[in-house]
């Protein structure tokens, strides 16, 4: 097969062929038509979105023998030379390897000479953010007083590294990442022209991995063609790109519904053993959960599903196995894991831990239930101390009996570390004064250590632990300990078989809450309690 890399072969040659950068094309076209072309441009944006391509088109637009014209002919000698990279008046410079002051001085010397055949001398400097500070300074004077008929086009993926003095002397354009639909459409066109058979699902998969970069998507397509030839099925797309297919995702969701941690981990290991990318798997899983949620919240989810990789009837059936809020919790867990996997050298382990946490998500009770519970629990809880009051929320729907069984357990002494019960009681009093709803968490934990260095709390369920370990709550605990004991301590939270540690009797608390007794809570108090528990904000 006489094969040319798609990205090069299908590089747009005129503005009208550029995809996804209409705002830039329009401004540049207007400037050409009004003969008001800037002498310096800065193109910024992620890789593979058309910066250098636009620079080359602009060079042809300005220099075409029939121009300047926004539709360069493509056949005159200058158009051809520029396309082939042989035009002496249009120079492409790689900023990464020519980043010193000496190279920039050479360039500036060269700038002074007249053009040989073209109308404009065009200098395209790619990766311009790589220039050294002194190189930028050397360039500055030329940018301030450019010789006529000299145009600089700078391209960069890192706008933030460009000095303000340069920015202020350039016309700046930000290139947008391309949408999956734009990439898919272009790949479809290429495959049509090249007589390559591939189904829509395969094309969508390639676009998604391309993540906004047309060039990346096209080289992925090349890889798939190199592997499969002219007939491509989705399986080969998935195996070349290391994507986890729809069937695996379905199986994954199935095991998630059944809460089968061991089976889920096995599946992750199988996927990893097949050499697939777990980061991509994590992203696909997030998309799958999102689709399940769309199916749950919409009567006509077809238009909301952003993928061809899953079967609607399967989605509908599986969606019944989840509560909407569980899906949201799971999405959050995966989204955190995905970010963490990028930073960690132990990506698989990070992912596995996240998977285990998925199986521990619980549905929240409805807000009506919650308000009812708060109304009921608060007055009854007083005389019951130091035994645990009924947890307010979130309450696991399945095993609430287990929680109440634990609450009956006798007062436990800490297993290790030093422990000061007086201080603990003072902490409880402070918490009760500052954030009554937070007591609910402390009722559930066992104090393993409490001294002038640290406070160690153990919780039986990871959900509560997760709620408590937010930076805000940790800060709150530290403040409370500081107020009660005068010590700045470390807060250590653990997961284990916690036997809740009661505090000594709290007479103050009773007085404090007396005014609340004997009347229903007001709506704003209930909302405040809910906010304290969940740490959220009121949206409307
Ligand atoms: Zn031409």
Residue range 34-75, pLDDT digits in tens: 989 999 999 999 889 999 999 999 999 999 999 789 999 989
Q: Does domain 246-358 have CATH number 3.30.70.20?
A: no
- 43 DSSP β-pair partners: 155, 173
pLDDT at 501: 83
- Token reading at 153: 């086009």
- For 77-123, the pLDDT digits (tens) are 999 999 888 899 999 998 888 888 888 888 888 888 888 888 999 99
Q: Give residue 153 CA to ligand 1 midpoint distance, Å.
A: 20
Mutual angle of helices 261-273 and 347-358, in 10-degree steps: 150
Q: 176, 45 in Cβ contact below 8 A?
A: yes
Cα separations in angstroms, 111 against 30, 122, 163, 171, 235: 26, 9, 22, 19, 54
Cα of 109 from ligand 1 centre, angstroms: 28
Contacts of 9 (CB under 8 A, 6+ apart): none
Give the whole-number percent of the chain exceeding pLDDT 70: 82
Confidence of residue 24 (pLDDT cuts 50, 70, 90): very high
Please answer whether residues 447 and 536 qualify as being in contact, where contact means their C-beta atoms are separated by less than 8 angstroms: no
* Alpha carbon distance 20, 499 (integer Å): 60
Kindly state the tokens that stand for 525: 């108090």
Q: Are 334 and 282 in contact (CB under 8 A)?
A: yes
Dist. CA 41 → ligand 1 center (Å): 22
What does the pLDDT look like over 204-219, one tens digit per residue?
888 888 878 898 899 8
User: Taking residues 130-158, what's their average pLDDT?
Assistant: 90
**pLDDT at 512 (0 to 100):** 43
Query: Tens of pLDDT along 296-349?
Result: 888 888 777 765 556 788 888 999 999 888 899 999 999 999 989 888 888 899
Q: How far is the CA of 120 from the centre of ligand 1 (A)?
A: 14
- Is the Cβ–Cβ distance between 312 and 295 less than 8 Å? yes
Distance separating alpha carbons of residues 122 and 102, to the nearest angstrom? 20
CA of 89 to the centre of ligand 1 (A): 14
Tell me the pLDDT tens digit for each residue of 506-524: 444 444 444 444 455 566 6
Token look-up 């503005």 returns 15
pLDDT (mean) for 261-278? 89
Domain spans, the chain: 11-174, 180-241, 246-358, 378-389+409-534
Among candidate residues 256, 251, 236, 104, the one with its CA nearest the CA of residue 166? 104
Q: Cis link prior to 236 (omega < 30° from 0)?
A: no
Q: Tokens 């072969």 sit at which residue?
A: 9
Specify whether the CB–CB gap between 342 and 279 falls below 8 A. Answer: yes
CA of 77 to the centre of ligand 1 (A): 7
Confirm if 250 and 256 have CB atoms less than 8 A apart: no
Q: Ligand 1 centre and the CA of 87: distance in Å?
A: 12
* Closest by CA position to 475, among listed 487, 491, 486: 491
Torsion sign (Cα): 45, 48, 54, 55: positive
- Which alpha helices (DSSP H) does 359-420 contain, by range? 367-384, 400-407
| Per-residue pLDDT, 508 | 42
* Residue 334 exposure: Cα atoms within 13 Å on the Cβ side: 22
pLDDT score recorded for residue 462: 78
Cα 211 to the center of its chain, rounded Å = 12
CATH 3.40.50.11540 fits 180-241, yes or no: no
8-state DSSP, 12? -
Residue 71 CA, ligand 1 centroid: distance in Å? 9
Arithmetic mean of pLDDT over the chain: 81
pLDDT in tens, 356-412: 999 888 776 666 666 777 777 655 444 444 444 444 444 444 443 333 333 336 344
Which fold would CATH assign to domain 378-389+409-534? GMP Synthetase; Chain A, domain 3 (3.30.300)
Vertex 280 angle, CA 278 and 286, to 5°: 105
Q: What percent of the chain has pLDDT over 90?
A: 30
- Does residue 323 have a cis bond before it (omega within 30 degrees)? no
For residue 117, the CA-to-ligand 1 centroid distance in Å is 13
Please state the rounded mean pLDDT for residues 446-475.
86
Which fold, 11-174?
A: Rossmann fold (3.40.50)
Give 66 Cα–ligand 1 centroid separation in angstroms: 6
């Amino acid at each position: 097969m006489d094969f040319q890399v798609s990205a090069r072969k299908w590089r747009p040659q005129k503005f009208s062929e550029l995809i996804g950068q209409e705002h830039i094309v329009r401004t540049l076209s207007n400037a050409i038509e009004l003969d008001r072309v800037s002498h310096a441009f800065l193109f910024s944006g992620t890789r593979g979105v058309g910066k250098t391509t636009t620079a080359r088109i602009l060079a042809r637009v300005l220099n075409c023998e029939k121009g300047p014209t926004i539709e360069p002919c493509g056949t005159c000698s200058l158009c051809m030379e520029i396309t082939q990279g042989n035009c002496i008046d249009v120079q492409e410079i790689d900023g990464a390897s020519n980043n010193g002051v000496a190279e920039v001085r050479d360039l500036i010397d060269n700038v002074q000479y007249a053009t040989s055949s073209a109308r404009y001398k065009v200098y395209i400097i790619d990766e311009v953010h790589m220039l050294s500070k002194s190189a930028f300074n050397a360039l500055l004077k030329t940018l301030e007083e450019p010789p006529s008929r000299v145009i600089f086009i700078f391209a960069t993926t890192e706008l933030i590294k460009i000095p303000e003095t340069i920015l202020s002397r350039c016309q700046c354009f930000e290139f947008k990442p391309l949408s999956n639909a734009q990439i898919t459409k272009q790949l479809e066109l290429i495959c049509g022209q090249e007589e390559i058979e591939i189904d829509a699902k395969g094309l969508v998969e390639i676009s998604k991995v391309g993540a906004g970069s047309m060039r990346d998507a096209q080289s992925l397509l090349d890889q798939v063609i190199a592997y499969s030839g002219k007939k491509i099925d989705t399986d080969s797309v998935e195996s070349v790109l290391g994507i986890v297919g729809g069937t695996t995702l379905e199986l994954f969701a199935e095991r998630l519904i059944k809460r089968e941690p061991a089976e889920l981990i096995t599946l992750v290991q199988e996927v990893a053993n097949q050499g697939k990318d777990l980061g991509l798997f994590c992203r696909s899983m997030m998309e799958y959960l999102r689709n399940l949620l769309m199916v749950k919240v919409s009567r006509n989810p077809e238009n909301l599903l952003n993928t061809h990789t899953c079967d609607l009837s399967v989605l509908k059936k599986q969606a019944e196995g989840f509560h909407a809020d569980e899906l949201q919790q799971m999405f959050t867990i995966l989204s955190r894991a995905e970010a963490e996997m990028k930073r960690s050298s132990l990506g698989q382990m990070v992912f596995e831990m996240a998977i285990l946490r998925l199986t521990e998500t619980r549905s929240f009770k409805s807000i009506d239930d919650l308000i009812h519970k708060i109304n009921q629990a608060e007055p009854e809880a007083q005389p019951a101390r130091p035994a645990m009051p009924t947890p307010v929320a979130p309450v696991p729907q399945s095993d609430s009996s287990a929680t109440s069984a634990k609450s009956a357990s006798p007062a436990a002494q800490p297993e290790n570390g030093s422990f000061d019960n007086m201080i603990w009681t003072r902490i409880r009093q402070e918490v009760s004064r500052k954030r009554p709803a937070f007591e609910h968490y402390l009722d559930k934990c066992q104090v393993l250590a409490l001294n002038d260095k640290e406070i160690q709390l153990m919780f039986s369920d990871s959900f509560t632990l997760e709620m408590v370990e937010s930076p805000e709550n940790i800060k709150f605990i530290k403040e409370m300990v500081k107020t009660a004991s005068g010590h700045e301590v470390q807060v250590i939270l653990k997961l284990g078989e916690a036997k809740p540690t009661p505090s000594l009797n709290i007479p103050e608390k009773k007085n404090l809450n007396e005014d609340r007794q004997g009347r229903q809570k007001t709506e704003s108090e209930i909302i405040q309690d809910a906010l304290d528990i969940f740490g959220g904000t009121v949206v409307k």
